Chains A and B, each alone.
Chain A
Amino acid sequence: MKLLTHNLLSSKSLKGVKVGYPLRIVAKDVKINESKFNKEFVKKIIPKLDWQVFINAAVQIGHNNDLSDELIDDYENNDEFLKKVHHLLVEIEIINGELICPETDRVFPISDGIPNLLLNVNEVP
């Protein structure tokens, strides 16, 4: 699971949960995969992100770097910046670990890189 995906997922359907976002990350196995930088993609994806959550997630799994909590203006023409975002978003992969609901502590396992968000019958309202 990549940090991009983490940025998009919630546990909002769990019984009693209001927001269910962001999920906490426990990363047991992390792999770095080099992937081709697609400027167009990174430019288009940044507005879709919850920036703060993205930066916090990177810090949580120990890949802190010099990106700041505030999204910079004029990032569209800043290749160096876009490349850093690319690296954190799609090159870091959590192979085994957990996503944890911030409100109920329900654990969603990540195995072989694939998160499992299935709920049991008694967990949905």
Chain B
Amino acid sequence: MKRFQYLLWFAHEHVSFRLHEIEAIASVLKIPIKWIEPPSDKPWYLVELPSEEAVQKLSARSVTMRRAIHLWADEPTVPRLHASLKEKCLNGLLEPYKLKSFKVDVDLFCNSQTQEEKLERIESFSYMPFQGHVDLMNPDVTFQYIEYYGLDPKIVPANPTRTFFGRVVSESGRQLIHELSLKRRKFIGNTSMDPQLSLLMANLGKVSNGDLVLDPFVGSGSLLVAAAKFGGHVIGTDIDFLMLHGRTRPTRKQTRHIARKDESIEANMVQYSCVDKYIDVIVADSAIPFWRSDVEFDCILADPPYGIREPTERIGSKESLPIIKKEGSSVHFPSKIEYGLNEIIKDLMWFSSKHLKLHGRLLFWVPVFRQDYNDAQIARHSCFQLIGNCEQVLTTFTARRLLVFEKIKMPQDTDECSSAIPTSSTFREKYFTHGDENRLTRKQKKAEAAKNKEIWFAKLNNVNVK
């Protein structure tokens, strides 16, 4: 069978997630990838794929890739690229596209590009025997020209070190990042996960059509939206009754004085046309088992509470609080105790060892103080293999890491689990002393104060929590 060479051209961000993403998608779609060049941090992968359809399917899900290009020329210098293309054109490479409308996109990687410079580059291809007209808006074919100047913006060489030319085969799934933008989302919370990272999680989690996906710390449901976009049928739980009922303080200034309706995870699913994939959200404490003992999820995604922007809590006994009744139905505000990060993580891993299918994936974030971090602190469990550990830098001192686990065996009595990330209180202290997060701190304090006030008000007066 004939195979084709493709250049997968990436956005230069979340580099450590890139390979995991492509491998996970290829595995979900059962597309064999043959590497022509070992994958590196350079913004492309050079691969051989079985068909154009395979490339299209692969790119459609990727949010780290920009587009996929059928490679026509790959040369170390500009003159050699033109020489190679000229020859290939003489051999009829352009024939099938000659009469079509077209455009040429130019990317000078790690070099500034003015409009003039771009035009100049486009002009340099005038020897190609195009007969169709240029159509910038809606061309039949798009060509991509790339000059690569290295990865270091401080040392840009005079000439590119590599050049590519090819036909664009498909755009990536990055338009989903804009489609799911938090700016236009109906319901968000102050810890909503940004769309790109949510989509990345769904990809790394190998979510596929018809999967049952759980987020045990669902918040405003960002991870579930992403999972649903890739065919997952989603369930979430959260300890915060007000959050799931869309009754927390508004997080958007502009909506503060307008009556809010339609603020729920379900409303978001409707907004993004994936309500068919929405199963339910449940108010529950993930520290306490409530699932039927033999329930199996296909994927578990989580952004657990770190105690930085939201309380980490579970039901426990510090004091006995009264039960509050509301409009006939009882709404409980049980007392909660601090629920440490490592405890949360270990609970999540034990839970997943029982409730995730074999070979299913468990993904969650952990916060780290960069200087103190070392790989030995990372959670482990005898049922899980660590597949990925990707850092997202937040500030000079702080980061969070996405841990990707795969369940490699069924649970046994002899299983072991550990997690030794410096505890949330130490982390929180450092985070705020070094983290340049003052604005956030103030906002968070205000939000917390407001919530406490609400709860106390309800407790004291035994009235509606609105």
For B296, what are the chain A residues with a Cβ–Cβ distance below 8 Å? Answer: 48
For A111, what are the chain B residues with a Cβ–Cβ distance below 8 Å? Answer: 245, 329
For B289, what are the chain A residues with a Cβ–Cβ distance below 8 Å? Answer: 12-13
Q: How would residues 1 to 33 of chain A score, 1 for a CB under 8 Å from any chain B CB and 0 otherwise? A: 110110111111100000001000000000000
CA distance A117 to B289 in the complex (A): 10
Interchain CB contact under 8 A, B323 and A5: no
Q: Report the nearest A residue to B275, measured CB to CB.
A: A35
For B241, what are the chain A residues with a Cβ–Cβ distance below 8 Å? Answer: 116, 118
Question: Cβ of B127 < 8 Å from any Cβ of A?
Answer: no
For A35, what are the chain B residues with a Cβ–Cβ distance below 8 Å? Answer: 275-276
Q: Report the nearest B residue to A41, measured CB to CB.
A: B210
Q: How would residues 66 to 78 of chain A score, 1 for a CB under 8 Å from any chain B CB and 0 otherwise? A: 0000000000000
Interchain CB contact under 8 A, B331 and A116: yes
CA distance A98 to B288 in the complex (A): 20
Interchain CB contact under 8 A, A12 and B212: no
Question: Cβ of B344 < 8 Å from any Cβ of A?
Answer: no
Interchain CB contact under 8 A, B288 and A4: no
A114-B244, A114-B283, A119-B285 are known contacts. Are A48 and B295 too (CB-CB below 8 A)? yes
Q: Report the nearest B residue to A44, measured CB to CB.
A: B210
For B285, what are the chain A residues with a Cβ–Cβ distance below 8 Å? Answer: 117-119
Interchain CB contact under 8 A, B210 and A40: yes
A38-B276, A44-B211, A114-B282 are known contacts. Are A8 and B291 too (CB-CB below 8 A)? yes
Interchain CB contact under 8 A, B280 and A119: no
For A79, what are the chain B residues with a Cβ–Cβ distance below 8 Å? Answer: none
A40-B210, A118-B239, A122-B320 are known contacts. Are A109 and B290 too (CB-CB below 8 A)? no
CA distance A41 to B212 in the complex (A): 8
A interface, over-half SS:
mixed
Per the 8 Å Cβ criterion, residues 248-292 of B in contact with A are 264, 266, 275-276, 279-285, 288-292
Option from B283, B292, B317, B332 in Cβ contact (under 8 Å) with A8: B292
Question: Cβ of A124 < 8 Å from any Cβ of B?
Answer: yes
Q: How far is the CB of A17 from chain B (nearest CB, A)?
A: 11
Question: Cβ of A120 < 8 Å from any Cβ of B?
Answer: yes
CA distance A21 to B316 in the complex (A): 24
A4-B279, A10-B291, A112-B245 are known contacts. Are A120 and B210 too (CB-CB below 8 A)? no
Option from B212, B279, B281, B320 in Cβ contact (under 8 Å) with A121: B320
Interchain CB contact under 8 A, B279 and A10: no
Question: Cβ of A90 < 8 Å from any Cβ of B?
Answer: yes
Per the 8 Å Cβ criterion, residues 73-119 of A in contact with B are 90, 96, 107, 109, 111-119
For A109, what are the chain B residues with a Cβ–Cβ distance below 8 Å? Answer: 329-331
Q: Report the nearest B residue to A6, measured CB to CB.
A: B280
For B335, what are the chain A residues with a Cβ–Cβ distance below 8 Å? Answer: 121
Interchain CB contact under 8 A, A10 and B281: no
Q: Report the nearest A residue to B357, measured CB to CB.
A: A48
CA distance A122 to B317 in the complex (A): 8
Interchain CB contact under 8 A, A9 and B283: no
24 A-B contacts, Cβ less than 8 Å apart? A1-B282, A2-B279, A4-B279, A4-B280, A7-B292, A9-B291, A9-B292, A10-B291, A11-B290, A35-B275, A44-B210, A44-B211, A50-B292, A90-B279, A114-B281, A114-B283, A116-B331, A117-B282, A117-B285, A118-B315, A119-B334, A120-B320, A120-B323, A122-B320
10 closest A-B pairs by beta carbon, nearest first, are A40-B210, A41-B210, A117-B284, A116-B283, A5-B280, A36-B276, A109-B329, A121-B317, A35-B276, A13-B288
